[in-house]
Amino acid sequence: MDFDKVIVEHLLAGFQEQHGIQFPGDRVALQRVTDAAERAKIALSEQLEVKVMVPFVALVARSPTISQATLTRAELESLAGHLVDRTLSVCQEVLAARELKVEDLDDVLLVGGQSRMPLVRERIRQFFGRSRRRPSIRTRPSPWARPCWRTRWIRTTRTASCWSTCCR
């Protein structure tokens, strides 16, 4: 949700710049902007640029106003880069808490959220020392993999690889 929030803030700043008025704070309009931000975020996982159009964001001179913007993948990466860095710091904390090194892991399992975002995948690859030729970063596993992985992680002291030990 934090990724959506930074996009929403960016879109609302663009609306203010484009129309010279501040967003009025209408909950329904804010939900439309949030939905558009989520669709843009998803589209930018596969495209380099997406056009975002949100109708009826506000009334200007008794006329409905449309918010239009173009969002690029590079803009999204600059807006959300700190969120990815925060995720990697959590990874470091978990590894330290379990007394593991990156080299001790066989696989990296990305589940939900931003797992398809190219920036996330690239930073995870760099953090865990994976090359593009070594496809050990898996996305969107079967629904049972997450609880299995979590259970295995809790029970095991030296490995976090669900795929290689408990879920074959």
Tens-digit pLDDT profile for residues 15-47: 999 888 888 888 999 999 999 999 999 999 999
The number of folded domains in the chain is: 2
Give me the pLDDT at residue 49, please. 97
| Helix 73-97 with 118-127: angle, nearest 10 deg | 40
Residue 140 in this model has a pLDDT that exceeds 60: no
Give me the pLDDT at residue 146, please. 52
Give me the pLDDT at residue 164, please. 38
In a domain, 81, yes or no: no
Based on the domain organization, do 64 and 15 belong to the same domain?
A: yes
163 pLDDT band (50/70/90 cuts)? very low
Give me the pLDDT at residue 166, please. 39
Q: Which of 7-21, 94-108, 147-161 has the highest mean pLDDT?
A: 7-21
Give me the pLDDT at residue 24, please. 81
Residue 160 in this model has a pLDDT that exceeds 90: no
Q: What is the pLDDT of residues 78-137, one digit of tens each?
A: 999 999 999 899 989 999 999 988 888 887 777 777 888 889 888 988 898 876 554 455
Residue 61: CATH number of its domain: 3.90.640.10
Based on the domain organization, do 67 and 121 belong to the same domain?
A: no
In a domain, 19, yes or no: yes
How far apart (Å, rounded) are the C-alpha atoms in residues 121 and 101?
19
Asked whether the whole model's pTM tops 0.75, one would answer no
In a domain, 118, yes or no: yes
Between residues 57 and 156, the one the model is more confident about: 57
Between residues 108 and 49, the one the model is more confident about: 49
Based on the domain organization, do 51 and 116 belong to the same domain?
A: no
Q: Name the residue type at position 62.
A: R
